[in-house]
């Protein structure tokens, strides 16, 4: 699907060059920032501790999530639910589960925690269980926040990683990490908006 999106952009550019202007051209995507890209240097982990972290795509378009009740505040939970609603504007379907499933065929896709993460980070996302038949997809991502009430921009950013969205420098072609067209995937993140480009990337993948 991402190749289709890229071909549409190339076709639109070619039509513009030869003078077909009666029909509005389909805009080419600004870059590909959905894992894997030519600028992602890690493999989707089959089992990973935080120190060997790497995120990838979620396993399918139906995304279940759970927030650990110890550590995260009611504000954090409200912000996670708000961001889940914004991801629901894409072809992904987010739904909260009150009971987490840690293993098996119905694992909870994203589990949010509060706890220790590397210095300099407000949040961290990584895959704990890669889909064996698809090396680019993950059965369960962990998202850990430094604070009990992470900013809604941080929640949007780390959730983006948990569905495969990268920083600008990991995109192909690379963008500045603070390119505002990447919405909440800028680094550091200053927006809680998913942004039109990230929506296109998600819809072209799932």
Q: How far is CA 10 from CA 7, 25, 148, 174, 204, in A?
A: 5, 10, 45, 18, 15
Task: Return the pLDDT at 140.
Answer: 95
4: pLDDT confidence band, cut at 50, 70 and 90? very low
Cα(129)–Cα(115) distance, rounded to whole angstroms? 20
- Coil vs helix vs strand at 55: coil
Examine residue 3 and say whether the peptide bond preceding it is cis (omega within 30 degrees of 0): no
Task: Return the pLDDT at 26.
Answer: 53
Cα(47)–Cα(52) distance, rounded to whole angstroms? 9
Q: What is the pLDDT of residues 119-175, one digit of tens each?
A: 999 999 999 999 988 999 999 999 999 999 999 999 999 999 999 999 999 999 999
pTM beyond 0.85: the answer is: yes
Determine the distance from the C-alpha atom of residue 198 to the mean position of all C-alpha atoms in its chain, rounded to a whole number. 8
Q: What is the pLDDT of residues 43-78, one digit of tens each?
A: 998 877 776 679 999 999 999 999 987 899 999 999
Q: Mean per-residue pLDDT for 177-198? A: 97
Cα(22)–Cα(157) distance, rounded to whole angstroms? 39
Q: How far is CA 120 from CA 117, 146, 180, 184, 187, in A?
A: 9, 10, 21, 18, 12
Task: Return the pLDDT at 126.
Answer: 94
Task: Return the pLDDT at 206.
Answer: 98
37: pLDDT confidence band, cut at 50, 70 and 90? very high
Task: Return the pLDDT at 19.
Answer: 43
Question: What is the 3-state secondary structure of 148-197?
Answer: CCCCHHHHHHHHHHHCCECCHHHCECCCCCCCHHHHHHCCCCCCCCCCHH
Cα(186)–Cα(16) distance, rounded to whole angstroms? 31
Residue 89 vs residue 118, higher pLDDT: 89
Q: Mean per-residue pLDDT for 92-104? A: 95
pLDDT at 201 over 70: yes
Torsion angles phi and psi, residue 130, rounded to 5 = -70, 145
């Amino acid at each position: 699907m991402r190749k289709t999106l890229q071909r549409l952009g190339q076709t639109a550019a070619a039509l513009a060059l030869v003078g077909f202007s009666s029909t509005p051209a389909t805009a080419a995507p600004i870059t590909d920032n959905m894992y894997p890209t030519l600028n992602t240097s890690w493999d989707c982990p089959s089992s990973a501790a935080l120190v060997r972290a790497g995120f990838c795509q979620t396993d399918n378009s139906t995304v279940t999530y759970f927030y650990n009740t110890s550590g995260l505040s009611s504000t954090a939970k409200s912000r996670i639910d708000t961001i889940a609603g914004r991801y629901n504007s894409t072809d992904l379907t987010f739904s909260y589960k009150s009971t987490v499933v840690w293993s098996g065929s119905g694992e909870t896709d994203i589990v949010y925690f509060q706890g220790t993460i590397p210095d300099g980070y407000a949040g961290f996302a990584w895959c704990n269980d890669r889909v064996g038949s698809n090396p680019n997809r993950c059965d369960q991502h962990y998202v850990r926040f430094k604070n009990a009430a992470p900013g809604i921009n941080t929640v949007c950013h780390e959730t983006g990683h948990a569905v495969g969205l990268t920083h600008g420098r990991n995109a192909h072609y690379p963008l500045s990490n603070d390119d505002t067209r990447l919405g909440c995937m800028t680094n550091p993140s200053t927006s809680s908006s998913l942004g039109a480009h990230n929506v296109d990337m998600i819809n072209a993948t799932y």
